[in-house]
């Protein structure tokens, strides 16, 4: 077992097996089983490349053998830093089969993040593309290589220069060595925090197979599903909620999209008759705007999953009328817990809630500041424990002591309330409150009101250090047309019945927001930008 990994206590592991959640399958066997069932069905499309299940299966085995030939073996960590390409999928399965553990870096990560990932994971290999969207990843590899004493191989998909080319790894002798145990760590995901360095999240084969297959069931995935991987594939959402893993398990087709912009996605949706994709809310806005000029036929689209940050009700309401497909809200986290609205939920629940927990064995608590549970309907911090929620970050004992209760509940840091139906409404982050001279400004609430102003395209509210108040509030606005003034905004907010202390003390007009590597608005970076 990987050191630094906190397993579930035996009684929980037994329960999750007995309840049929953990089935003793590995991620590698998921592809193997499908390739045996439907070898000639289309599994993967990347540009002009099209691989059947049989082809993907054979390629994954060959690559696993090649990596093994290099000395990469069960339990070794490999930082995977690939964009949305067929190689990402092939390599992930090769590593799953060896029992080597991919560390899922996002394409937007750079030197600081990668150096940290290499150090924490003590990875033996680092896999990059040659270039991606004009950026030369080999330069990055050169910059981090010397600071990572455990790193033995830099492997390049494409023109490798002095490094090892992925395409020419020796196809070592098959059959492969014995694969991993289903209870082994299969993958290390990155936590989605917008501040500090990301923590690594260990996910086991058992728990991640369940994550992907149960998600596929609530999203109605079948062998006819054609899924567009538009978000970075290394992220939990497009990877396994149900993402490409859930779709491959069901025998559907995965279409890799090089970027999440409408320019890249719309032609692929039309050409490949894509039925389903997943986006973060800011991209939904962008896609809806782009529809005005788009000429592509998007009528094949049946389902749009949206998650990653709060989807405003106004945007949610536009999805079905304008895109012509159903909406599924997904509230999830790399750490585990996933909530989905059901495809047949009443419209009001689909538009206004973040859904219900995926598993009947997800245990959810909503706790007040004193740690005690609050009554249903009241807002508090969400805590979660269950068959696919990790019991500890990788090698982070001190941090784990803070973010887990003694009985193993993960403190998500999210504020939520639970409706009688069991649906959760995410009300913000625990720290997403501006303390304005003692008065607590609820950030999400004010943002929602700001977005109703006709001259506001997107808006966030941030707290800035203030000599008198401790913190003052600043509305950062991306305008639609002529920018609104502070007086305009405040008159509008007052008209909507907002208390005076919630009115922004300042307004800043921005062209766009800085984003995290996954595409969420990076509030910490906005604040840094404002204070320099
Ligand atoms: C997803 O995962 P992460 O790990 O990048 O970020 C998790 C955090 C949550 O704790 C929450 O603060 C926020 O992102 N979040 C949402 C949300 N979905 C995620 N906040 C409000 N509404 C939502 N629907 O972001 C992620 C992982 C799997 C599926 C979907 C998203």
Domain boundary among 181, 216, 241: 181
CA distances from 215 to 8, 89, 210, 260, 440 (A): 21, 19, 8, 22, 37
CA distances from 76 to 70, 72, 79, 180, 320 (A): 12, 6, 10, 12, 45
CA distances from 114 to 189, 340, 370 (A): 13, 32, 38
Compute the distance between CA of residue 82 and CA of residue 157 in angstroms, rounded to an integer.
8
Helices 53-69 and 27-37, axial angle in degrees (round to 10): 140
Residue 489: inside a domain, yes or no?
A: yes
Residue 366: inside a domain, yes or no?
A: no
Distance between Cα 308 and ligand 1 center (Å): 4
HEC assignment per residue over 184-229: CEEEEEECCCCCCCCCEEEEEHHHHHHHHHHHHHHCCCCCCCEEEE
Residue 315: inside a domain, yes or no?
A: no
Domain boundary among 181, 215, 232: 181
Residue 451: inside a domain, yes or no?
A: yes
The stretch 352-358 carries a mean pLDDT of: 97
The stretch 420-438 carries a mean pLDDT of: 86
CA distances from 446 to 266, 453, 494 (A): 33, 12, 11
Residues in contact with 91: Cβ distance below 8 Å, sequence separation at least 6, in sequence order: 63, 80, 82, 102, 127, 157, 166
pTM: 0.91
CA distances from 520 to 24, 92, 268, 515, 516 (A): 35, 25, 23, 5, 5
Range of the domain at 469: 433-531
**CB 330 near ligand 1, within 6 Å:** yes
Domain boundary among 150, 181, 212: 181
> What is the gyration radius of the CA atoms in the chain, in angstroms?
23
Predicted confidence at residue 92, as pLDDT, reads 98
pLDDT tens-digit readout, 52-85: 999 999 999 999 999 999 999 999 999 999 999 9
The stretch 110-118 carries a mean pLDDT of: 90
Compute the distance between CA of residue 283 and CA of residue 261 in angstroms, rounded to an integer.
8
Has residue 113 got a pLDDT over 90? Answer: no
Protein residue whose Cα sits closest to atom 10 of ligand 1 = 333
Counting ligand 1 atoms within 8 A of each CB, the residue from 105, 332, 355, 423 with the most, and so the one to mutate, is 332
**CB 394 near ligand 1, within 6 Å:** no
Has residue 24 got a pLDDT over 80? Answer: yes
Predicted confidence at residue 150, as pLDDT, reads 97
Counting ligand 1 atoms within 8 A of each CB, the residue from 216, 284, 309 with the most, and so the one to mutate, is 309
**CB 414 near ligand 1, within 6 Å:** yes
Residue 238: inside a domain, yes or no?
A: no
Residue 482: inside a domain, yes or no?
A: yes
Has residue 228 got a pLDDT over 90? Answer: yes
Compute the distance between CA of residue 526 and CA of residue 313 in angstroms, rounded to an integer.
24
- Compute the mean pLDDT over every residue in the chain, rounded to the nearest whole number: 94
Compute the distance between CA of residue 265 and CA of residue 127 in angstroms, rounded to an integer.
25
Closest of 246, 248, 233, 263 to residue 328, by C-alpha: 246
Q: Residues 249, 58, 267, CA angle at the centre, nearest 5°?
A: 60
pLDDT tens-digit readout, 443-478: 888 898 899 999 999 999 999 988 877 789 999 999
Count of CB atoms within 10 A of residue 457's CB? 14
**CB 519 near ligand 1, within 6 Å:** no
- CATH number for the domain spanning 130: value is 3.40.50.980
Predicted confidence at residue 336, as pLDDT, reads 98
**CB 266 near ligand 1, within 6 Å:** no
Residue 443: inside a domain, yes or no?
A: yes
CA distances from 301 to 324, 327, 331 (A): 7, 11, 21
Protein residue whose Cα sits closest to atom 30 of ligand 1 = 332
Predicted confidence at residue 433, as pLDDT, reads 77
CA distances from 477 to 51, 83, 449, 494, 526 (A): 45, 31, 12, 17, 11
Has residue 195 got a pLDDT over 60? Answer: no
Residues in contact with 266: Cβ distance below 8 Å, sequence separation at least 6, in sequence order: 290, 294, 296, 298
pLDDT tens-digit readout, 143-152: 999 999 999 9
Predicted confidence at residue 170, as pLDDT, reads 80
Q: Is 257 helix (H, G, I), strand (E, B) or coil?
A: coil
- CATH number for the domain spanning 487: value is 3.30.300.30
Beta carbons of 356 and 424 less than 8 angstroms apart = yes
Question: In percent, how much of the chain has pLDDT > 90?
Answer: 81
Looking at residue 33, the DSSP 8-state letter turns out to be H
Residues in contact with 250: Cβ distance below 8 Å, sequence separation at least 6, in sequence order: 216, 221, 222, 223, 225, 242
Has residue 196 got a pLDDT over 60? Answer: no
Distance between Cα 334 and ligand 1 center (Å): 8
Predicted confidence at residue 193, as pLDDT, reads 54
**CB 215 near ligand 1, within 6 Å:** no
**Under the phi-then-psi rule, with left for phi > 0, alpha for psi from -120 to 50, and beta for the rest, what region is 104?**
beta
Total tally of structural domains belonging to the chain: 2
Compute the distance between CA of residue 181 and CA of residue 170 in angstroms, rounded to an integer.
26
Residue 106: inside a domain, yes or no?
A: yes
Please identify, by atom number, the ligand 1 atom nearest to the C-alpha of residue 413.
10
Distance between Cα 289 and ligand 1 center (Å): 23
Distance between Cα 60 and ligand 1 center (Å): 30
């Amino acid at each position: 077992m990987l050191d630094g990994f906190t397993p579930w206590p035996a009684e929980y592991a037994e329960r999750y097996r007995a309840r049929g959640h953990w089935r003793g399958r590995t991620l590698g066997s998921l592809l193997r089983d499908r390739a045996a069932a439907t070898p000639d069905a289309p599994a993967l499309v990347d540009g002009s490349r099209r691989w059947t299940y049989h082809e993907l299966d054979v390629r994954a085995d060959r690559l696993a053998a090649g990596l093994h030939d290099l000395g990469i073996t069960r339990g070794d960590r490999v930082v995977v830093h690939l964009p949305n390409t067929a190689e990402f999928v092939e390599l992930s399965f090769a590593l799953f089969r060896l029992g080597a553990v991919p560390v899922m870096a996002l394409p937007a990560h750079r030197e600081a993040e990668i150096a940290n990932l290499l150090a924490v994971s003590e990875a033996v290999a680092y896999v990059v593309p040659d270039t991606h969207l004009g950026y030369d990843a080999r330069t990055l590899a050169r910059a981090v290589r010397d600071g990572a004493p455990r790193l033995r191989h830099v492997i390049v998909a494409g023109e490798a220069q002095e490094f090892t080319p992925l395409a020419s790894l020796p196809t070592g002798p098959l059959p492969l060595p014995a694969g991993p145990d289903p209870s082994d760590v299969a993958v290390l995901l990155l936590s989605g925090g917008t501040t500090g360095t990301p923590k690594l999240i260990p996910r086991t084969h058992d728990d991640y197979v369940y994550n992907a297959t149960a998600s596929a069931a609530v999203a109605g995935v079948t062998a006819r599903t054609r899924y567009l991987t538009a978000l970075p594939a290394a992220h939990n959402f497009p990877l396994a909620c149900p993402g490409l893993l859930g779709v491959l398990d069901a025998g559907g087709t995965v279409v890799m999209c090089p970027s999440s912009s409408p320019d890249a996605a719309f032609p692929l949706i039309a050409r490949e008759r894509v039925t389903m994709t997943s986006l973060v809310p800011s991209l939904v806005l962008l896609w809806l705007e782009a529809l005005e000029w788009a000429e592509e036929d998007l009528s094949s689209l049946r389902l749009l999953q949206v998650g990653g940050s709060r989807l405003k009700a106004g945007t949610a309401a536009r999805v079905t009328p304008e895109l012509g497909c159903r909406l599924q809200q997904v509230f999830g986290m790399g750490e585990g817990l996933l909530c989905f609205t059901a495809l047949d939920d009443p419209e009001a629940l689909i538009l206004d809630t973040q859904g219900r927990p995926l598993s009947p064995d997800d245990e959810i608590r909503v706790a007040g500041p004193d740690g005690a549970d609050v009554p249903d309907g009241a807002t508090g911090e969400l805590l979660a424990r269950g068959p696919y929620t990790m019991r500890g970050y990788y090698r982070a004992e001190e941090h784990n002591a803070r973010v887990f209760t003694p009985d193993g509940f993960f403190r998500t840091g999210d504020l939520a309330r639970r409706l009688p139906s069991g649906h959760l409404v995410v009300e913000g982050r625990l720290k997403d409150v501006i303390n304005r001279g003692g008065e607590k400004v609820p950030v999400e609430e004010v943002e929602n009101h700001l977005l109703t102003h006709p001259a506001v395209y997107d808006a966030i509210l941030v707290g800035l250090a203030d000599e008198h108040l401790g913190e003052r509030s600043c509305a950062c606005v991306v305008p639609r047309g002529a920018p609104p003034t502070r007086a305009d905004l405040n008159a509008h907010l007052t008209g909507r019945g907002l208390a005076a202390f919630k009115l922004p003390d300042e307004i800043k007009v921005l062209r766009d927001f800085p984003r995290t590597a996954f595409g969420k608005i990076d509030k910490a970076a906005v604040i840094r930008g404002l204070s320099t």
